[in-house]
Every structure is written in structure tokens, then in C-alpha cells.
Copies of this chain bind each other. A is one copy, B any other.
Amino acid sequence: MTELKNDRFLRALRRQPVDRTPIWMMRQAGRYLPEYRATRKQAGSFLDLCKNAELACEVTMQPLRRYPMDAAILFSDILTVPDALGLGLYFEEGEGPKFRKTVRSEADLAGLNSITAEDDLGYVMNAVSTIRQELNGMVPLIGFSGSPWTLATYMVEGGASKDFANVKGMAYDKPELMHGLLSLLADAVADYLSAQIRAGAQAVQIFDTWGGSLSAGGYKEFSLKYMQRIISRLQSDAQTQDVPVIVFTKGGGQWLNAIAGCGAQGVGIDWTTDINAARSQIGDRVCLQGNMDPTMLFASPARIREEVAAILAGFGHGSGHVFNLGHGITPGVNPDHVTAFVEAVVELSPQYHQSS
């Protein structure tokens, strides 16, 4: 493989010295970019775009042509695994993801397909190797998956949910069934991330978008435990053990201490967490990733720069910070505001990395 020309992101995840704070953005390949919207139109549906390796590679590269990002992230969806398990993923315009089938009983669970990521999610591995080749060592490539709990919420509810009544009802009333589903998903996700790494991913992120809907106890029992299992599977395999893992639980700020102990090298924090307090609490054990409010990108470039300065100062001196938003970028953002955001990180962060 080609040597990596920019390894700032991987060094920060390992808390090794860097010249400046690395940056990438969750959903950096996405609807706020006109070139993305053009490619998406060309592809047809969102899923068609995910399944076409050349076009998925094209949209992955688009933000890198505009901004000096320190990592690329695979263009895909968090729900590819449940789709392969046989639930029938589809998207209704303006309504988010839906499944044709749900999992609410032992019979539903038993009826899921047996899958291997390499065979049944081959289109994702094609995208990973195509992107890796196209990157040609420019920056590292991040692979990803939804967390078992997050996947389970969609699989039980049949789509997005406001109050998670069905999936939480199952967790509370049929814990064995829920643990059965989560175990199956943890194995499938570990296999999926492992296959992405073998195909070329140089770091992986587990998106736990809905872990924050649980109680403190429920989070540890139904979400964190299964992410821990995935990480320990990756770390016990010589082919995957050196690849850093980032865990991002939206709304998980109260549980940072527990999350920092799950084995991940990086912990994503959303914008509600004070990064200074987070570093005081756990920053020497893991790398922190985040955490500007995505809505700040609607403010003026000058205000964005102020906020970047405040977050950099909040984290303070030394390595172990990957700059990011606290959640995915919002579709309506002006791409020029992203320029101001990334430039601020590039220009203001070196002072925090000078050796004293």
C-alpha cells in the first residue's frame, strides 16, 4: 500500500505529537455540497449511490477537494447491516430510513439471514478499496458502522422513532430477546468493520446515534457493552488490532467516564459537553473528537472562528484532540462557512502543539 502522506488524524488518535489539530466532519460528504447533490441525482436513489463504488468514491473525495480535511470517511449508510440481514431498507423522501420488516419476536430474530460481510456487503468493501486507491495515501480512510443498539432501534421500530416505545418496551420486558438481537448485531458489526479494515479502512467509527435515549443503567447494559464486545473482537485479531476505533454516542456526555473505558482509542463528544471538563475527566486515557455545535455553521465566519478558538483553548495544549462537529453537518449550511471553520482549525491550532 502507498505510504500515508498525512497521518495527523491517526497520530492524534494515538496521542502522539502532531503539528496541528487534525480535522474532519461527520457527514462531510453530503447534501450541503452542490457537487454531492449533482452526483446523487446521477446515481438515482440514496441506496443506489451507496451501492455504486465509483460514485460512492466520487462523493467521498468531494469535500477533500474543497477543504484540507485530515481524513476521508467512507460514503455509506449506518443501516447496511440490517438491510443485509433481510429487513429491506428503503428511504421515503423527507421521512428518513424505513424497513419493510421489523424484529419483535424470537421468530423474527430466528428469521434473519446468516451473513458474512465480505459476501453480503461486498458493495461496501468495493467502495472502501476503490476510495483507498483513489486517495493514494493523501489522508487516512475511516470506515464505520451503526452501533448494535442504534441498529436495533431501527430494526424494532421499523424506522426512525420519537420515543422508542417498541424497542425500549422490548429491552425492559423481554431482555433475553433484546440481548439475543444485540449479540447477533455485535457479531455482525465486528465482522463488518473487520472486513472494512481488510479492504483498506485505516480507522473505524461506531455511530451510537441513539444510545443517548437510554437511561444511565440502560446505556451500559444495552449499548456500551456491545460496542465493547466489538472492540475486543477487533483487538484480538492480528489483522485489525492496530486500527484505532472511535466510539460516538450522541447525548452520552454524562457517561464519558464509562465510555472512555470501553477500549476505544477515540471518544466522540457532542456539542453539549464542555470539552475542557471532558479532558479533565478522561482526556489522558483516550483521544477526544469534537465538538462544535453544527448549527454554529449558520453563524458568520467571524463567529465560527471565535467558537473554534474557544474549543481549541478548552481542550488546551498537547495531542489527543481530533476537531469535528458535535454531530453531522446540517444540509442547509453554506459551503463557504465550512471553509471558515476548517481554516480556523488549521490556523489557530498549531500554537497548542509547540513543544515547550
List A residues 312-356 near B (Cβ within 8 Å): 326, 330, 332
A298: B residues at CB distance < 8 A: 165, 168-169, 172
Contact pick for A163, options B169, B218, B330, CB 8 Å = B330
A293: nearest residue on chain B (CB-CB)?
Answer: B215
Question: Which residue of chain B lies nearest to A168 when distances are taken between CB atoms in the complex?
Answer: B295
Tell me, in angstroms, the Cα distance from A217 to B326 when the chains sit together.
14
Interface residues on chain A, number (Cβ under 8 Å): 35
30 A/B residue pairs, CB under 8 Å, sorted by A: A163-B295, A163-B330, A164-B295, A165-B295, A165-B298, A165-B332, A168-B295, A169-B295, A169-B298, A172-B296, A172-B298, A172-B303, A172-B307, A173-B300, A212-B272, A214-B272, A214-B293, A215-B272, A215-B293, A215-B326, A216-B273, A216-B274, A216-B277, A218-B293, A251-B251, A253-B253, A253-B254, A254-B272, A254-B273, A254-B274
* Contact indicator per residue, chain A 269-280, by CB within 8 Å of chain B (1) or not (0): 001111001000
A277 to B219: give the CA distance in the assembly, Å: 15
Contacts of A163 in B (CB 8 A): 294-295, 330
A299 interface residue per 8 A CB criterion: yes
Residues of B within 8 A of A254 (CB): 253-254, 272-274
Instruction: Give the docked Cα–Cα distance between A298 and B164 (Å).
Output: 10
Task: Report copies per complex.
Answer: 2
Question: Restricting to A120-174, which residues have a CB under 8 Å from any CB of B?
Answer: 163-165, 168-169, 172-173
Expressed in whole angstroms, the minimum distance between the Cβ of A341 and any Cβ of chain B is 13
Residues from chain B with a CB closer than 8 A to the CB of A216 are 272-274, 277
A274 touches B217 (CB 8 A): yes
Residues of B contacting A110 in the complex (Cβ-Cβ under 8 angstroms): none
Chain A 212-228 residues near chain B, CB threshold 8 A: 212, 214-219
Interchain residue pairs A-B with the least CB separation, the first 9:
A172-B299, A216-B274, A168-B295, A169-B298, A253-B254, A173-B299, A215-B271, A215-B293, A172-B303
Chain B residue nearest to A218 (CB atoms) is B293
Nearest residue in B to A294 (C-beta to C-beta)? B163
A214 to B303, CA, bound (A): 16
User: A4 at the A/B interface (Cβ < 8 Å)?
Assistant: no
Q: Which residues of B contact A273 (CB under 8 A)?
A: 216, 254
A38 near B: Cβ within 8 Å? no
- Given the complex, which residues of B lie within 8 Å of A215, measured CB to CB? 271-272, 293, 326
Whole-angstrom distance between the alpha carbons of A164 and B254 in the complex?
23
A310 cross-chain contacts in B, Cβ below 8 A: 217
Complex Cα gap A8–B33 (Å): 58
Shortest distance from the beta carbon of A95 to any chain B beta carbon, whole Å: 13
| Bound-complex Cα distance A214 to B163 (A) | 21
Add 8 more A-B contacts to A212-B272, A214-B272, A216-B272 (CB < 8 A). A163-B294, A168-B295, A168-B298, A172-B299, A173-B300, A215-B326, A216-B273, A216-B277
